[in-house]
Amino acid sequence: MKRFLSAILVKLGIDKDHLRQMVELIEPHWKKLALSVLCMVGVGWAVAGTAYLIRPVLDQIFVKKDDAMLKLLPLAVLVLVTVKGMCLWGNSYLTAFVGQSVVAEIRRKLHDHIQMLPLAFFDNNKIGDLMSRMLNDVDFLQNTATDTLTGLVRDGFSAIGLLYVVFYQNWRLALIALVLLPAGFYPLFKITSVIRELARKGLAYMAEITIRLHESLGSIRIVKAFGMEDYEKKRFQEVNDLNLKFSIKIASITALSSPIMEFLGGLVIVFTVWYGGWSVIHGKTTPGAFFSFIAALLMLYEPVKRINKTIGMLPVGFMAASRVFDIMKAPREVTDHEGALEPASISRTIEFRKVCFSYGGDRVLNDINFTAHVGEVIALVGMSGAGKTTLVNLIPRFYDVTQGAIFIDGVDIREFKLSALRSLIGMVTQQSILFNDTVRNNIAYGDIAKGEEQIIAAAKAANAYDFIMKLPLGLDTHIGDQGIRLSGGERQRLCIARALLKNAPVLILDEATSSLDSGSESEVQSALDNLMVGRTTFVIAHRLSTIRNADRIFALTDGMILEEGRHDELLRRGGEYSRLYELQFAHLQ
C-alpha cells in the first residue's frame, strides 16, 4: 500500500517531505479541521440524500399518490437543504480560518528564518525573489494546504455518498456505468506532469516580476534622472508577458480535465438511459428507482470532475511549497555552542592571527596578522577590491574566517555568543540604512531600551539635534523610505546617532563620509569624532585626509597587508600608501 501511495505521489509531483511539512503546519488546527470535515461529511450525505429522495418522491407521490408522503417528503427535502447550507457555511468559514492562520504562520516562520540566515545567503539570492516566495508562493501553498485539500475531502465525501445511492438503487447498472471512470485518470496523470513543469517556470517568472518591481521602484530616482521609464516599462512587460504565457498554458491544460470527464460522462449517461429505459419498460425497475439512479449518477460526475481538476492543480501548490521549504532548509547563521561566553566589554585587544578568507573558491584575504589595542583607531586603505570591507565584516562574524582566528582579549570570537559579540560592535556604513519610520525610532534602533533623554543626547552628539528640531514633527517626523525626505548628510548623522545610542566599545566605519559633499562631510566628520572617543575603531577610508590622525594605517592590496604605520611615516616610505595619497591629491599639486 505504501509503495502504491508513493507511486501516486510521484506521478502527481508531490514530495513526501513537503507533504509532511504541510501536515505539520495544519496540525495545530486539527480541531477546527475535524469540525470542517464533519461539515464536509454533512454536505456529502445531504447531496446523496437529495438524490436518494427522488425515488420515493416519484414512486410514492406521483405514482401511488400517497398523501402522507406528500406531507413528509417535502419536509425531508427542506431539512436536507438546510443541513447542506449550514454545513457549507461551516466548511467555508473553518477552511478560511485555518487557511489564513496557516498563511500567517508560514510567513512568520519564513520571515524569522530569513532573519537568521547568514549574509552569504543574501549574496547569492535576490531580495525580490525572497519577497515573491514569501508573498506569492505562500499564497499558492495556502490554497493547496487548505482550499485544495479540503475541497478534495468535501468532494470525496459527496462522491462516496452518491456512489452508495447509485449502487443501492441498481448495483449491476452502477458497475457498468462506472467502468469508464478510471479511464479518466490516465490523461489526468499526463496533464499533471505537464502542469508541474509549467508551474515551475510560472513561479520563477512571478518571482522575476517581483524582482523587477523591487529594482525599478527602489531606484525610481535614478530611473527618472536618466529618463529610463520606457526602458523599465519594456523590461517589466517582457517578464509580465512571459508570466501571462505560462499562466494561460496552465489554465488551458488544466481545463482539459473537464471536457475529458464530460465526454466519458456523456458515454455513461447515453448507455445508462438506454439500459435504464429498457428496464423500466420491461418492469425490471420502477421509474423512481431509475430517476434516483440517474440523478445520483449526474450529481456524482460534478464532484468527480472537481476532484479531477483539483488534482491537476496540486503540482502548482507543491511546486510553490518546494520554493518555500527550500528557503526553510537553508542553514542558519552559526549557532552558539553550549557554554558560549558572553563578554560585557573589551579590556585589552582585538587580534587577527593568520587570518585567511575565501569566498566562492577565491582567496579574498591572505595571512592577515595585527593587533588592535583598546581605544586605538585603525585605518584600512587600498584600491577597490583589496579586501577592506571583508576584513571588518569578519569581526562581527558576518562571515567566518576560512583559516586562522580572530581573538578578543585572547579568546577566539567563535567562543562567544553571537548576540553578545555583536552587542560589542557599532557600525556606520557608506550607505545610510534607515527605516520608513520616525526619527525617534530610527535612532532608538541602536538600543530600544534607551529613553527619551538618551535619544536626544545621542542626536546632539551626532550634530543632528538642530536639524531634527526643524522638521515638522521633530523626533516624531516620518522620514520616508530609506530617509528619502532627508539630505545625505542628515541621513548619515542619524546613523551616527544610532551608533552612539548603542554605545558599543568597538566601532566600524565603512567609508562613512565617501558619498557626502564637503559641507556635509564636515558636519558628519565632527559627529564621527564624537563617536570614536574612547572606542576601538576600524575605519575604512575613501578620503585619506580623514585618517591623518589614525593611530595606525594598514595599506591592503589583493587581500594582503603591504604596509603599516602612521600617516607621515607611510608617506615618507614612498610605498603603496604614498602612491594612493598621490593619486588622490595629484590634482592639487
Closest CA to 391 of 407, 380, 383: 380
Q: How confident is the model over 428-451, as pLDDT tens digits?
A: 887 888 888 899 999 998 888 888
Is this model's pTM higher than 0.85 or not?
no
CATH of 349-588, one of 3.30.10.20, 3.40.50.1980, 3.40.50.300, 3.40.50.2000: 3.40.50.300
Query: Residue 554 has what pLDDT?
Result: 93
Mean of pLDDT values over 15-29: 76
Where in 415-486 does DSSP place strands (E)? Answer: 425-429
Q: CB-based contacts of 1: which residues, under 8 Å, 6+ apart?
A: none
Task: Kindly state the cell numbers that stand for 566.
Answer: 602612521
At residue 44, does pLDDT exceed 50? Answer: yes
Chain centroid, CA 146 distance in Å: 19
At residue 413, does pLDDT exceed 90? Answer: yes
Q: Which of 83-97, 160-174, 506-520 has the highest mean pLDDT?
A: 83-97
At residue 392, does pLDDT exceed 50? Answer: yes
Q: How many CB atoms lie within 10 A of CB 227?
A: 8
CA distance linking residue 275 with residue 173, whole number of Å = 8
Confidence of residue 59 (pLDDT cuts 50, 70, 90): confident
Give the start-to-end residue ranges of the domains of the chain: 14-329, 349-588
pLDDT-wise least confident of 24-33, 86-95, 497-506: 24-33
CA distance linking residue 18 with residue 28, whole number of Å = 17
CA distance linking residue 70 with residue 299, whole number of Å = 24
Mean of pLDDT values over 340-358: 90
Q: Are 239 and 212 in contact (CB under 8 A)?
A: yes
CA distance linking residue 157 with residue 47, whole number of Å = 10
Confidence of residue 516 (pLDDT cuts 50, 70, 90): low
Distances in Å between the Cα of 240 and the Cα atoms of 234, 235, 335 are 10, 9, 41
First to last CA, the chain: 86
Q: How many CB atoms lie within 10 A of CB 392?
A: 22
Query: Residue 45 has what pLDDT?
Result: 78
Where b means 16+ CB within 10 Å and e means fewer, 122-146 reads eeeeeebbbebbbebbbbbbbbbbb
Q: Are 380 and 561 in contact (CB under 8 A)?
A: no
Task: Kindly state the cell numbers that stand for 473.
Answer: 514633527
Q: How confident is the model over 302-316, as pLDDT tens digits?
A: 777 777 767 766 777
Query: Residue 351 has what pLDDT?
Result: 94
DSSP state of 147: I
Residue identified by cell 449517461 is: 269
Query: Residue 371 has what pLDDT?
Result: 93
At residue 402, does pLDDT exceed 60? Answer: yes
Residue identified by cell 567609508 is: 511
Which position has the higher pLDDT, 179 or 455?
Answer: 455
Query: Residue 524 has what pLDDT?
Result: 74
Query: Residue 394 has what pLDDT?
Result: 93
DSSP state of 416: B
At residue 25, does pLDDT exceed 60? Answer: yes
Query: Residue 340 has what pLDDT?
Result: 85
Report the CATH architecture of 14-329. Answer: Up-down Bundle (1.20)
Confidence of residue 587 (pLDDT cuts 50, 70, 90): very low
Confidence of residue 585 (pLDDT cuts 50, 70, 90): low
